Amino acid sequence: MTAETFVFFGQVGSGKGTQVKLLMDFLKERDNKECIYAYPGNEYRKLVESGSYVGELIKDSLAGGHLQPDFLTNSIVANILTSNLTAGKHLIADGYPRTVFQSETFEQMMNFFKRDKVKIIYIELSKEESMKRNLLRGRADDTEEGLAKRFNEYVNNVVPAMNYFEDKDGYEIYSINGDQSIEAVHQDIINKLGYSF
């Protein structure tokens, strides 16, 4: 069974992180292949915690939920892939690409790593449901104003980044209804990918 490549898209509150973990568990049980998780958000948080100069420079914009510079995000992902990815490992990208420029770079990376079948999982969630879920989480940056800003950033940057792959050879977009329960969303993803439980 060949190693597969997945990219998750979904706005704040869509339960993307939870679904990534469920898919990773599912794949591990299915074929016991290692799964490389390319999630720049984690690396950015580590940079801030390290107290480095770069960490200082990005601290405020990261806390505000802003997109980070393309060159930095691209280099973080390139570093994860060059350090860890092999032909026999699954790859899951989450929170990347988030701009059209990042999508172009990601496409180059996939060509380089000979990944010619990329499955894009788009968890759709209404703005109202997203607001509701995020305000319930009660994180410091989850104010209505902050969320509205992140929602707009998502619509203006991230959705075009995903649409870049529409009708491209080797890329398939699967839309999933994110308003359902966690388990139903997971079932949906597995079914649409053509796997069986």
Residues 125-183: pLDDT tens digits? Answer: 988 888 888 888 877 767 888 788 888 889 999 999 999 999 999 999 999 999 999 99
User: Model-level pTM?
Assistant: 0.93
Which pLDDT score, from 0 to 100, does residue 150 have?
Answer: 83
Which pLDDT score, from 0 to 100, does residue 159 have?
Answer: 95
- Give the chain's end-to-end CA distance (angstroms, integer): 16
pLDDT at 14 over 80: yes
Which pLDDT score, from 0 to 100, does residue 128 have?
Answer: 86
Tell me which H or E stretch contains 147: helix 144-153
pLDDT at 108 over 70: yes
Count of CB atoms within 10 A of residue 18's CB?
13
Tell me which H or E stretch contains 84: helix 70-84
pLDDT at 62 over 80: yes
Question: Can you list the positions of beta strands (E) in the chain?
Answer: 5-10, 35-38, 90-94, 118-124, 171-177
- pLDDT bin (cut points 50, 70, 90) of residue 100 is very high
The phi-psi region of residue 143 (left if phi > 0; otherwise alpha if psi is between -120 and 50; otherwise beta) is: beta
Contacts 24+ apart (CB under 8 A), 114-118: 114/87, 115/5, 115/91, 116/170, 117/4, 117/5, 117/170, 117/172, 118/5, 118/6, 118/7, 118/165, 118/170, 118/171, 118/172
Task: Compute the distance between CA of residue 36 and CA of residue 86 in angstroms, rounded to an integer.
Answer: 9
Which pLDDT score, from 0 to 100, does residue 137 have?
Answer: 82
Mean pLDDT of 12-31: 95
Which pLDDT score, from 0 to 100, does residue 101 have?
Answer: 98
pLDDT at 85 over 80: yes
Task: Compute the distance between CA of residue 168 and CA of residue 117 in angstroms, rounded to an integer.
Answer: 10
Helix axes 40-50, 70-84, angle to 10 degrees: 100
pLDDT at 93 over 90: yes
> What's the mean pLDDT when you consider all of the chain?
93
pLDDT at 197 over 70: no
To which residue do tokens 């792959």 refer?
165
